[in-house]
Structure 1
Amino acid sequence: MSIADTFIKRPVLSTVCTILILLIGGICIPLLPINNLPEIAPIQVQTSSTYIGADAQTVENTVSTLVERQINGVEGMQYMTSTSGNNGTSTISTQFDPTSNRNINQVNVQNRAAIAEPTLPESVRETGLTTLGGKDKIRAKFITT
């Protein structure tokens, strides 16, 4: 006689065992150490702006390049990418080491972008630069008047 025969002959025992296993599993799920997994994705800080009525080449030459020059070399930066669109948008993404502080990285990039702001075209200064940082999406928008 095998263990399977016991559960086949006693369906109530099978049901009780199944319910007991489900309850134990439900109690243990919140106790799993999911938070102890390491951060492996780089921290990303995005700086975006809009140059109304400009094409991609103009945005690249008059906005993206100026802001990139200032952001380049910010403490802890791994690499930077930039996108300029034909609708006048410019997005600069700066990646940082996953172990660094998200908020400090966002503030450092925002401060560097603020240095470049007086050299930007008037239309861009009116709409401002937007800096989004970390996975918490800290949003800081500054507009000079």
Structure 2
Amino acid sequence: MAVTDIFLKRPVLAISINLFILCIGLFSCFKLPIRQFPQLSTAVITINTSYPGANAHTIAGLITTPIESAIASAEGIDYIKSSSQPNTSSITAYLRLNANPDLVLLDIINKVQQTSNLLPNGALKPIIEKKSDGSTPLMYISLQSKTLSPQSMTDYAIRSIQPQLSNLEGVAKIDILGGKKYALRIHLDPLLMSAYGLSAEDIMKALSQNQFITTAGQVKNEYLATPLSTDTDLHDLKQFKKMLINCSDGTAIRLHQVAHVFLGAESNDEEARFDG
């Protein structure tokens, strides 16, 4: 007996099943998502490494090539692009479609850490970031001032604006473009340094020795214990200018005598403009 014979002999059963299928179809129509394109998961992982003072050829040989070779075997990577510029190495790993970016990121971090002993001593720690397909900026906010310097506006954005925006629901990340962070800049005078018999290495050594913090134990009595610490850290521009560089033959040579010391921008290589 065919299946159709059952429905022909029992019309009520046939109508009930048809109504049930119709209800399921209508319910599914309202639950189906509407998208212009299929939902695809794509992501990239970037590795940026700084090596101050190195040219592009040195960056490519000592930093980009070792890191790129190490992460090439990571699971989930489709292809890799890299660029070597003076002072900076940038590597971008494009993941396969629908690959788990968190697992790939963990694998890449482990492989980069394994190459840390191959990098030169002056290289900074690689910065590894994951960027999903939804990481395109949705909003740009421009800061302008007729009275504040670019450094002051950057400091205000970092201290006040960025934390408040980061606490908003749905905000994943906030980047400051074209910002100029405060930095102590020291412009050495070669003629004065030569007159005092100093070199750039002497200045760097003095700077490192005056930024030293350590514990020196503690002093105890029957009722009280007082911790001791050695803090040579300098805190303002005036202290840096008066920093002792050398003291030979009873003559103290201070930093402001051989260099121009001032507060400026950490870097002038980047600048952002809005509406002209």
SS in 1 for 2:115: helix
Check if 1:110 corresponds to 2:109: yes
User: Is the 2:44–2:94 Cα contact (8 Å) retained in structure 1?
Assistant: yes
User: Is the 1:105–1:133 Cα contact (8 Å) retained in structure 2?
Assistant: no
User: By how many angstroms is 1:36 displaced?
Assistant: 8.0
Q: Residue type matched to 2:51 in 1?
A: Y
User: By how many angstroms is 1:134 displaced?
Assistant: 3.2
Q: Residue type matched to 1:73 in 2?
A: S
User: By how many angstroms is 1:44 displaced?
Assistant: 0.6
Check if 1:97 corresponds to 2:63: no
Highest CA radius of gyration, 1 or 2? 2
User: By how many angstroms is 1:123 displaced?
Assistant: 1.1
User: By how many angstroms is 1:95 displaced?
Assistant: 0.9
Whole-angstrom distance in 2 between the partners of 1:116 and 1:81: 18
User: By how many angstroms is 1:77 displaced?
Assistant: 1.2
CA deviation map 1:14-52 (0-9, x unaligned): xxxxxxxxxxxxxxxxx9634983216x42101110000
Whole-angstrom distance in 2 between the partners of 1:67 and 1:97: 20
Q: How many residues align?
A: 105
TM-score by length of structure 1 reads: 0.64
Whole-angstrom distance in 2 between the partners of 1:76 and 1:37: 21
For residues 1-145 of structure 1, the aligned pairs below 5 Å read 33-34=34-35, 37-39=38-40, 42-86=42-86, 88-124=87-123, 127-135=124-132
Question: Structure 1 106/57 Cα, relative in aligned 2: closer, same or farther at 3 Å?
Answer: same
TM-score by length of structure 2 reads: 0.35
% identical equivalent positions: 20
User: Is the 2:76–2:100 Cα contact (8 Å) retained in structure 1?
Assistant: no
SS in 1 for 2:73: coil
Q: Which runs of no fewer than 5 residues in structure 1 stay unpaired?
A: 1-30, 140-145
Q: Residue type matched to 1:130 in 2?
A: I
Q: Which has the higher contact order (CA 8 A, sep 6+)?
A: 1
- Superposition RMSD in Å: 2.6
Q: Residue type matched to 1:110 in 2?
A: I
Q: Which residue of 1 aligns with 2:180?
A: none
Q: Residue type matched to 1:80 in 2?
A: I
Q: Which runs of no fewer than 5 residues in structure 2 stay unpaired?
A: 1-31, 136-171, 174-276
